[in-house]
Structure 1
Amino acid sequence: MQTLNLRSNHDLRDEIKAYWSIRAETFDSQPGHEIFSEDERAAWHALLRRHLDEGAGHAALDLACGTAVVSHLLDDLGYRVTGMDWAEPMLERARAKAKARGRSIRFLMGDAENTMEPDGAYDVIINRHLVWTLVDPLAAFKEWHRLLKPGGKLLVIDGDFVNPTLVAKIASKISALLARVGGRNARPQNGPGAALAETHRSILSRVYFSDGARAEAVADLLKAAGFSSVVIDTDMSTIHRTQRKNFDFLKGLERAAQHRYAICASK
Structure 2
Amino acid sequence: MNSMNSNYSIRDEIRDFWSERAATFDESVGHEIFSEEERKGWQRLIRKHLGDGTGRAALDLACGTAVISHLMNDVGFKVTGLDWSDAMLGQARAKAKKRGADIRFVSGDAENTMEPKNSYDVITNRHLVWTLVDPPAAFAEWFSVLKPGGKVLILDGNMGKETWVKGLQKLWSRVTGKPAASHMTPAMAARHQNIRSRVYFSDAMPAEAVVDLLTKAGFVNIVVDRKLSDIHWAQARKMPFLRGLERMVQERFAICATKPE
TM-score range, shorter chain: over 0.9
For residues 83 and 192 of structure 2, the distance between their equivalents in structure 1, rounded to whole angstroms, comes to: 18
* Contact 1:180-1:186 at 8 Å conserved across structures: no
Give CA deviations for 1:162-202 in whole Å, capped at 9, x if unaligned.
Answer: 112xxx32x234334445655633268xxx82221111111
Tell me the TM-score normalised to structure 1 length.
Answer: 0.92
1:81-92 matches, cutoff 5 A: 81-92=79-90
Match of 1:249 in 2: 241
Tell me the TM-score normalised to structure 2 length.
Answer: 0.94
Match of 2:113 in 1: 115
Match of 2:179 in 1: 185
**Aligned match of 1:175 in 158, 163, 169?**
169
Which runs of 5 or more residues in structure 2 are unaligned? none
For residues 45 and 2 of structure 2, the distance between their equivalents in structure 1, rounded to whole angstroms, comes to: 34
For residues 229 and 177 of structure 1, the distance between their equivalents in structure 2, rounded to whole angstroms, comes to: 42
Residue 103 to residue 259, structure 1, CA distance change in 2 (3 Å): same
**Aligned match of 2:191 in 192, 199, 204?**
199
1:1-267 matches, cutoff 5 A: 4-164=2-162, 168-169=163-164, 171-179=165-173, 184-186=178-180, 193-267=185-259
Give CA deviations for 1:205-229 in whole Å, capped at 9, x if unaligned.
Answer: 0100012111000001001011111
* Percent of aligned positions that are identical: 57
- Cα deviation, residue 248, structure 1: 2.1
Equivalent position amino acid for 1:255 in 2: R
SS of alignment partner, residue 195 of structure 1: helix
Equivalent position amino acid for 1:47 in 2: L
Which runs of 5 or more residues in structure 1 are unaligned? none
For residues 27 and 50 of structure 1, the distance between their equivalents in structure 2, rounded to whole angstroms, comes to: 27
Q: How many residue pairs are counted as aligned between the two chains?
A: 258
For residues 166 and 134 of structure 2, the distance between their equivalents in structure 1, rounded to whole angstroms, comes to: 31
Please identify runs of 4+ aligned residues in structure 1 that moved more than 6 A: none
For residues 166 and 193 of structure 2, the distance between their equivalents in structure 1, rounded to whole angstroms, comes to: 17
- Cα deviation, residue 8, structure 1: 0.8
* Contact 2:181-2:243 at 8 Å conserved across structures: no
CA RMSD of aligned residues (A): 1.6
Give CA deviations for 1:3-28 in whole Å, capped at 9, x if unaligned.
Answer: 74322111111110101100111100
Give CA deviations for 1:65-89 in whole Å, capped at 9, x if unaligned.
Answer: 0000000000000000000000001
For residues 203 and 183 of structure 1, the distance between their equivalents in structure 2, rounded to whole angstroms, comes to: 26
Give CA deviations for 1:129-176 in whole Å, capped at 9, x if unaligned.
Answer: 000000000000000000000110000011111112xxx32x234334
For residues 96 and 211 of structure 1, the distance between their equivalents in structure 2, rounded to whole angstroms, comes to: 36
SS of alignment partner, residue 151 of structure 1: strand
